[in-house]
Chains A and B, each alone.
Chain A
Amino acid sequence: MSQDTQNAGIDSAGHDTDAVPGSAPLGSGAAGMGRIVKRETHTSRAVVSVIAAGLVMAVFGYALLETGVRAIGQPPWLVDPQTAAERVVALPAGIPPLLLGVTGAVIAMAGLFFFLNAVLPGRRARHLLPDRRAAVVVDDEVIAAALARRARLAANVAKEQVMVVVSRNRITVNVRPTSGVPLRPDAVLEAVRREVEEMGPWPMPEVRIQVATAGVVGA
């Protein structure tokens, strides 16, 4: 039932002009600050790198085993390198085409995963806040929780009836009113908008409200 907040992840559609948030007029106290802010708002791909390195190490480690066994003239563990190469050359033969196609599809999907990870900007779901001393980076989840609380107080509903989704350029406030109790969307929207303006996140998102047509009974 904890639908209070939700993090919509990175909204990577469009708006690629401001790739360097460090150029924002925010919290730039020292020379290295832009670099720090850039590093905090973009993923380092450390996890994917470790996965990739582990994959390469597994494949090359096995190749090393078989090559080493061959080099010192011992019988192969699973397959001799030369036999393996000959089988690869003869490829459409010797294996069911369906299995070959599925293997290819799996390898291609893994490749696509790594490739997209490298090419996409890799923005984290975070916003910057203005501050005169330090650079402030806030997870979108925290912003959503704060706005959900504000919207809940303005709409006078229970915690479970408000869900706020924060993405890079948009904040959507979803409210389910209590059955029989009128709800003024404009007042809620105004309250949330004022809170966002006071907060001043960068990039500044646009606030929208969605009031569900069906109400909640007995909330």
Chain B
Amino acid sequence: MNNTPRALNRVLIGILGILLLAIGVLLILLASVPAVGVWWHEWAGGVLSFWLDLFERTQFPRRQGSWLWLAICLALLVVLGLMIAWIAQQGTGRTSLLVAEEDPGEVPGNVGISGGVAEQALRAALADRPDLAGVTVAAYKISGEPALKIRVEPRQGVAPHRLAAEVSALVEALDAVIGKRTPVLIHIGSGARSRFGRSERVR
């Protein structure tokens, strides 16, 4: 539920996939069909002579060499920067504040409740349960509004709907404490600890 740019991911991966697919198919055809080789010589030769011509026409005024190389360097640097920006976009969206509102009372100021409050409260409430292998609570910002993600890892064989109902009751108690209903997602998942740990036989 983080703010990974999903549409962008899909589009960019799709473009890269199509490009690689086209290059791969072209190489296979070059290796197997002679007629494709003839066409390739003509087409790519034309492209290459166009670029060589371009390099000829972009010589430095006085000394040897073309400034087009520097331009290509700059373009490559821009692409590299964009790729780094793309990677940095993955998995963002965590927030620390669960509630941030202006206090309507007599004292001027804002009230902020950290997501750590919800985390500590829920972890303490779920700490003694033998049927859970782990609890993680994190606050995310979904379309400008803070939301809570509670991930519980039950041991093998625990009925998820009963666990969900119990965690949901805890969330309602938390609502009463905080005084505001935030969107809550309960994710009942399995990880290494629940998979390889002892299974819950008696409840």
Interface residues of B, CB < 8 Å — how many?
85
- What's the Cα separation between A48 and B83 when bound, in Å? 13
B1 touches A199 (CB 8 A): no
- What's the Cα separation between A88 and B91 when bound, in Å? 39
With both beta carbons as reference points, the residue of chain A lying nearest to B46 in the complex is identified as: A89
B14 at the interface (CB under 8 A from A): yes
Contact A49 to B87, CB < 8 A, known contacts A111-B17, A195-B159: yes
Question: What string of 1s and 0s marks CB contacts (under 8 Å) between A70-90 and chain B?
Answer: 110100000000100110111
B30 contacts which chain A residues (CB < 8 A)?
Answer: 91-92, 100, 104
Contact A45 to B17, CB < 8 A, known contacts A32-B145, A91-B30, A131-B168: no
B117 at the interface (CB under 8 A from A): no
B87 touches A141 (CB 8 A): no
B23 contacts which chain A residues (CB < 8 A)?
Answer: 104, 107-108, 111
B24 touches A109 (CB 8 A): yes
B171 contacts which chain A residues (CB < 8 A)?
Answer: 133-134
Summarize A's interface: helix, strand, loop or mixed: helix
B199 touches A159 (CB 8 A): yes
Contact A36 to B147, CB < 8 A, known contacts A86-B48, A135-B186: yes
With both beta carbons as reference points, the residue of chain A lying nearest to B160 in the complex is identified as: A138
B124 at the interface (CB under 8 A from A): no
A199 touches B160 (CB 8 A): yes
Question: What string of 1s and 0s marks CB contacts (under 8 Å) between A112-149 and chain B?
Answer: 11111111000000000101111111110111011011
Which one of A37, A48, A104 has the highest number of Cβ atoms from chain B below 10 Å of its Cβ?
A104
A30 at the interface (CB under 8 A from B): yes
A108 touches B164 (CB 8 A): no
Stretch touching chain A among B72-80, B98-106, B108-116: B72-80
Question: What string of 1s and 0s marks CB contacts (under 8 Å) between B62-94 and chain A?
Answer: 001100011011001101100110110011000
Q: How far is the CB of A191 from chain B (nearest CB, A)?
A: 13
Q: How far is the CB of B22 from chain A (nearest CB, A)?
A: 7
B172 touches A133 (CB 8 A): yes
B11 at the interface (CB under 8 A from A): yes
Which one of B29, B165, B175, B183 has the highest number of Cβ atoms from chain A below 10 Å of its Cβ?
B183
With both beta carbons as reference points, the residue of chain B lying nearest to A63 in the complex is identified as: B76
Question: What string of 1s and 0s marks CB contacts (under 8 Å) between B3-29 and chain A?
Answer: 010100111111011111111111111
| B residues apposed to A, CB below 8 Å | 1-2, 4, 6, 9-14, 16-32, 34, 37, 40-41, 44-45, 47-48, 51-52, 64-65, 69-70, 72-73, 76-77, 79-80, 83-84, 86-87, 90-91, 142-143, 145, 147, 150, 154, 156-161, 164-165, 167-168, 171-172, 175, 181-190, 194-195, 199
